[in-house]
Amino acid sequence: MKKKKKQGKKRKWLIPLAVVLLAAVVFSVLVGTKVIRINTLLAAGYPVQGIDVSHYQGEIDWAKMKQQGMDFAYIKATEGSAHEDKRFDKNWKEAKAAGMLCGAYHFFSFESEGAKQAEHFIKKVGDLKGSLIPVVDVEYYGKYAEIPPDVEKVRKELREMVGALEKKYGRKPMIYCTYSVYRKYLDGVFDEVPLWIRNVYYPPEDIGRKWTLWQYTDRAQLDGYQGEEKSIDCNVFQGEKGQLNNYVIQ
């Protein structure tokens, strides 16, 4: 009888242990296969939080953004050598009025010369004193997702744009990119340029270099905007709040 009781006790422990182990395995698989995104929990540990927006977010209540803990915002200004974001002027003015630390970003075109794109951005944005350094957003779009453009051509035009922006603002701009773009065009080539990396599945510790901003989600739901895009991109800065000032143009 005593032996049977011991076996019964063992079974009682084995069942919950098996359940816990199974749950851990399932969770690991879901994270590994990118079904579950754990970034929101992990990103909460960073003291400096921010958003990036374009006309897709529509009307934005910038005071509400600050109330929800957003310390900075990057606002889309231009794209290619001719396109302007239709809400840039309003977003820029109202975000500044609300006391938000702002930066402007440009969506890089694979079909335009880098110098012309820089000229277009500078003409639209103008003086950036007191604002964050500009950003060049480099990512695949349209047909280029399937047929990436020539490596040397992209690097040449990107160097021209980076150089023109540095000459104008006295600071190197930051480059935003996805992992695939980083590996193909930037790795080991633009190491002197601050990096804003996108990884919506896990922290970018495997990127192989220091990053400045990390876009950890494109599915955040915040209060205070009314556009056709229901989600908003959220980011963290690698550093303390005071260190973010190192990226402000003086």
By annotation, the residues acting in catalysis are 139
CB 238 within 8 A of CB 214: yes
- Which runs of E-coded beta strand occur in the chain? 49-53, 59-60, 72-79, 83-84, 101-107, 135-138, 174-177, 195-198, 213-220, 225-226, 232-237
The answer to whether 62 touches 100, Cβ cutoff 8 Å, is yes
Tokens found for residue 123: 């003409």
Separation of alpha carbons 36 and 219, rounded Å: 12
In degrees and rounded to multiples of 5, residue 33 shows phi and psi of -90, 5
| CB 52, CB 106: distance < 8 Å | no
Question: At a CB cut-off of 8 Å and minimum separation 6, what does 129 contact?
Answer: 249, 250
Residue 26, H or E segment? helix 2-32
Distance between CA atoms of residues 140 and 138, nearest Å: 7
The number of CA neighbours under 13 Å toward the Cβ of 69 is 11
- Classify residue 99 by burial, with Cβ atoms within 10 Å: 0-12, 13-18, 19+: exposed
